[in-house]
Structure 1
Amino acid sequence: MQSLRERQKQRRRERIYRSAIQLFKELGFQQTTAAEIAKASHVSRGTFFNYYPYKEAVLLDYGKELLDRIWQESKAELEAGAPPLEVLYRFWERLAEASEHEIGRELLSHLAHELVNPDPERARAAYEALPLGERLAEILKPLKAAGKLRTDLSLERMANSIADTYLLAVLRWAGHTPHRSLKEELFKFLAIVLEGVLAR
């Protein structure tokens, strides 16, 4: 059972989080200040930083929430006996749609940059919040067990290679090819990587 104090802290964090995401979408990430987030969530600026040490940390919670939702759908499909490759394609499609339409180009760009942040502490926090490689490994695991993946590469290496294509596609799309569909770009990258990991 949570104490009253713990529940209050949880509700305060949720209020800060929801206010921040709403402001990011309305005003833009760069234009939104910590002071504005604090005002919208009825806390002090210092309290905001007690919960989130930097603005991008709010985006990590947002990305985690979406990834968790997508993973739960895919996990249910795996447990129901759906073919893993089909689950992978549907997982990838949901990820593309959430990235493009729910997160959006600007927020996605900042979120992706956290994964390559030159500050190792922040990069590690991003990878821990967004365990895309681990989720992909869970989907690929039955294929590995069935001998349908290469045997000279670890499951972790193959899953992380697919996860890295997501990051590369997102950064390229957000910065250089905004006129293209992120979903189409992601599936092109996935096709290339699967050529390299499926057993022949």
Structure 2
Amino acid sequence: MLRESRKKELKEQIFLQALQLFREKGFEQVTVQEITAKCGIAKGTFFNYFAKKEEILLYLGESQIDLLHQSIEKHRDIDHPKEQITLVLGDLLHNFSSHSELMRLATMEIMKSAHLAGEESKSVHQLHQQLASILDRAIQNGKLQSRWETGVIATTIVGVYFHTILSWTLQGAQPTTTISDSFRQQLDVVWEGIDGN
């Protein structure tokens, strides 16, 4: 278990150091050699974690999915599905904003690359599935009544989530509100059309 924890810490270190270099020099200009030198690791060690430089950017989605599972478990006892979803996605957004400049860079690079965007869609699909499961449980437990199918609701919430990230990313260094508050406000608007109560 300790070994797995150390491996995860090293992967996170490589990710953050690489993003820092990408920010300073531009994604295309940074080499794997520079990343390994900054991390103090051998090239072989780098390739144990990432097959190529582009995969570093995909770790953003991968790490968010790990956090998603942890957050769902943490908020499992919240009765109301809207509050549970707000807390779960709020955790993801807080993580995103805690490394704001680096996460903005990763988001922009993923949006520029069709290959990276295609790979990132796997993480988006997992997020959609988890939200649909929360909604299904809420309907089965009588906590949510809606005329919409859970897949449609989950798609709408995922859309709000990524719109929040995109808007916040494009705002630059001085956003007018926290990313979590922005998401909560937008979810409040769409939830009125979701909840049949």
Fold match (TM-score > 0.5):
yes
Gaps of 5+ in 1: 1-6
Task: Write out per-residue CA displacement over residues 155-192 of structure 1, whole angstroms, 9 at most, x where no aligned residue.
Answer: 12211211111111111111126322212211122112
Residue matched to 2:192: 195
Q: Which residue of 2 aligns with 1:37?
A: 35
Residue 167 of structure 1 is matched in structure 2 by 162
Inter-partner Cα distance in structure 1 for 2:78 and 2:9 = 35
**Which segments of 5 or more consecutive residues in structure 2 lack a partner in the other structure?**
none
Q: 2:73 aligns with which of 54, 59, 75?
A: 75
More contact order relative to length (CA 8 Å, sep ≥ 6): 2
Alpha carbons of structure 1 residues 68 and 194: separation in structure 2 relative to 1, 3 Å:
same
Which stretches of structure 1, 4 residues or longer, exceed 4 Å deviation after superposition?
13-17, 47-50
**Closer, same or farther in 2 for the Cα pair 1:16/1:132, shift >3 Å?**
closer
Choose from 51, 60, 70 the match for 1:62: 60
How many residues of Structure 1 are paired with residues of Structure 2 in the alignment? 184
The 8 Å contact of residues 19 and 37 in structure 1, kept in 2 or not, is answered as: yes
Percent identity for Structure 1 against Structure 2: 16
Residue matched to 2:92: 95
Instruction: Say which of 102, 118, 126 aligns to 2:120.
Output: 126
Q: Which amino acid aligns with 2:144?
A: K
Distance 1:108 1:64 in 2: 16
C-alpha contact (below 8 Å) 1:147/1:199 kept by paired residues: no
Structure 2 vs 1, CA of residues 24 and 149 (structure 1 numbering), >3 Å: closer, same or farther?
same
